[in-house]
Amino acid sequence: MKVIKMLGVGALAAVVAISSGCSKKPEQEKPALDAKAAAQKYDKIREEMKALYLVQSILGWYVRTNGERSVFEETYKGRESLFSKENVEFFNEYMKMEGLNADDRRAAKYMRNALLAEFVAIDTAHFYDKVNDAEASATVKLEWVGDPVPYRQLDSMKANETDPERRRALQEAEALVWKESLNPILAKEEERIQELAVEIGYKSFVELSEEYREINLKEFMAETQKFFDETDEMYGELFAAEVQEVMGFPAEKFTRADILYFAAVPAFQKYFPAELTIPAFESLISGMGIDLKTIAGTEITIDDEIREKKNPRAACFSISVPDDIRVTVKPSGGIPDFETFFHEGGHALHYANTNLDKWEFQQLGNNAVTEGYAIFMENIWGDYEWLLKYREIVREHNKTLPASKRVPVMSDAEIGKLIRNRVLWKMYMVRRYNWAKLIYETLLHGGGAEYFGPYYDGPENDPHQAYRRIFSKAYGFELTENEALRFRTDVDSFFYAADYARAFLLSEQIEEKLRKDFGPQWFNDPRAGEFVKKQLWALGNKPSSEDISKAVGAPDLNYDIFTSRIREQLAIADRLMGKK
């Protein structure tokens, strides 16, 4: 994920009048802005925002990497006038001025959108601080561990725990923290953001977020349902086969407590030692003529140290674009760690190669595009040609080691098994984000049955049970009551799921472009790197996901290439595994 300095980025198409509870007087036509004075005001607001975002970025870095106390609420004190309705209205009027080119208007729109997001953020920052502090300070007691265990270590423990009963115990301990510490805070935050959405004139927080993310949720959800129906049987068969292969028991016994261990693919852990993570990434990008330097000449910072209070969720921080780009990961080896690093590396390379001077296009805008770049890099671990190259990387690495320390080398059949496994996870993530999260979050945020009605017919006033039912269907196994207690913690700000959802599709379109133009081993062709750097990454956050989709030759952002690619990958896997 790309960490941002507010609750979200995107585009809100319109700002409506604040509801006052009394009848409106006819609005008088506002005088046109004086161009010189408007430009000065614009610059002043932008400089104040740049300074604040820089402070928040660095603060966020240390909160994330060292578990420092979160004081985001304090950073907003004295800045209430900056994120005011008056400034929002100023940018509405600014965009109407004559003499602006398309880039100027888009940049102004991004500024307006940021102010709107901060209008919510400044009111709710104390919830963010409380959640971060609660997570950082929470510990649990486990029967087989002497000392209290930090809450933030539980996911890592589940991913590495071989005993199913202990995984369930870890899940129970985690659920207790959700229920007693985090959910009460998040319930209050949810109530407040819904109030704020109405206060600024929207029917619901869903409607606000829909404009904010520049997406028609109803249309996107309808298209997703078609994909869901078309591939549901394929997913069910693949899920059952992979559970048996990886876990050694039938899918009927699978629970949410098993998911991280399942995702870790333990049998493949030995092929992916932590020390090869960064060298593998460097090998990928060097073949494309790319390195870890920014276009400003600095190095991308990578923090891969393990610290007790370090947030285990990897993230990229674009502190200052393009010169100060940082990545934090908490590695333990295995295929998920490799994918995570490549994902965050995709974000980092995007911002390190952004070649636009406008700050709005460096730091604001919509995150669907940068997530598309990140997932494009991550998905390489399901690519047959790349896995052959990685096998050679391992062989070269082994030449420097004594026999006892050499990394095992995957056979063709094992590569096939890995490809099949990664297809399952691609489908799982699309079912989770594109289908389940959009349905559930439109319900949670008060969007009404016009959004979720075609896909969910259960109770609307019980998010716990709604989460359980919707995600059970998406995952292909039943969630328990306790497992579904993540119904508040498993929610991203301002429908960030919509950005991930489009990114999954965009990433496949980018890869298809490179495969078509530069061949199946595109990662060995510097022309592919030149295209990505100059035609995609250089544009920063300026383009929309639809803009990039067109730039790589796709007619629109749809499921066609995604669907054909997973079928192609499964055919390759079957061939390598000796199946007909």
Specify the amino acid at residue 179.
K
Q: How far is C-alpha 457 from the geometric centre of its chain's CA atoms?
A: 28
Half-sphere exposure of 469 (CA within 13 A, CB side): 15
**pLDDT tens digits, residue range 159-178?**
889 999 999 999 999 999 99
Q: What is the mean pLDDT of residues 332-336?
A: 87
Element (H, E) at 367: none
C-alpha 71/C-alpha 129 separation (Å) is: 6
Looking at the chain, the whole-number percentage of residues with pLDDT higher than 70 is 94
Decide if 173 contacts 142 (C-beta within 8 A): yes
pLDDT of residue 24: 36
Q: What is the mean pLDDT of residues 95-104?
A: 93
Band (pLDDT 50/70/90 cuts) for residue 84 is confident
Residue 9 scores a pLDDT above 60: no
Band (pLDDT 50/70/90 cuts) for residue 19 is very low
Q: How far is C-alpha 92 from the geometric centre of its chain's CA atoms?
A: 29
Residue 304 scores a pLDDT above 90: no
pLDDT of residue 16: 27
**pLDDT tens digits, residue range 523-565?**
999 999 999 999 999 999 999 999 999 999 999 999 999 999 9
Residue 146 scores a pLDDT above 70: yes
Q: What is the mean pLDDT of residues 35-57?
A: 94
Residue 23 scores a pLDDT above 60: no
For the domain bounded by 217-576, which CATH number is listed?
Answer: 1.10.1370.30
Band (pLDDT 50/70/90 cuts) for residue 202 is confident
C-alpha 246/C-alpha 264 separation (Å) is: 9
List helix spans (H) across 272-334: 277-287
pLDDT of residue 28: 53
Band (pLDDT 50/70/90 cuts) for residue 308 is confident
Phi-psi category of residue 78: left, alpha or beta, with phi > 0 → left and psi -120 to 50 → alpha = left
pLDDT of residue 6: 35
**pLDDT tens digits, residue range 222-261?**
999 999 999 999 999 999 999 999 999 999 999 999 999 9
Q: What is the mean pLDDT of residues 383-406?
A: 97
Residue 485 scores a pLDDT above 50: yes
Domain regions of the chain by residue span: 217-576
- 577 C-beta neighbours (distance < 10 Å), count: 15
Element (H, E) at 301: strand 301-303
List helix spans (H) across 484-580: 496-518, 526-531, 545-551, 560-576
pLDDT of residue 138: 94
**pLDDT tens digits, residue range 339-379?**
999 999 999 999 999 999 999 999 998 899 999 999 999 99
Band (pLDDT 50/70/90 cuts) for residue 1 is low
Q: What is the mean pLDDT of residues 473-480?
A: 96
- 299 C-beta neighbours (distance < 10 Å), count: 12
C-alpha 21/C-alpha 180 separation (Å) is: 37
Report if pTM > 0.85: yes
Calculate the average pLDDT of the chain: 91
Residue 323 scores a pLDDT above 90: yes
Residue 98 scores a pLDDT above 80: yes
Residue 10 scores a pLDDT above 60: no
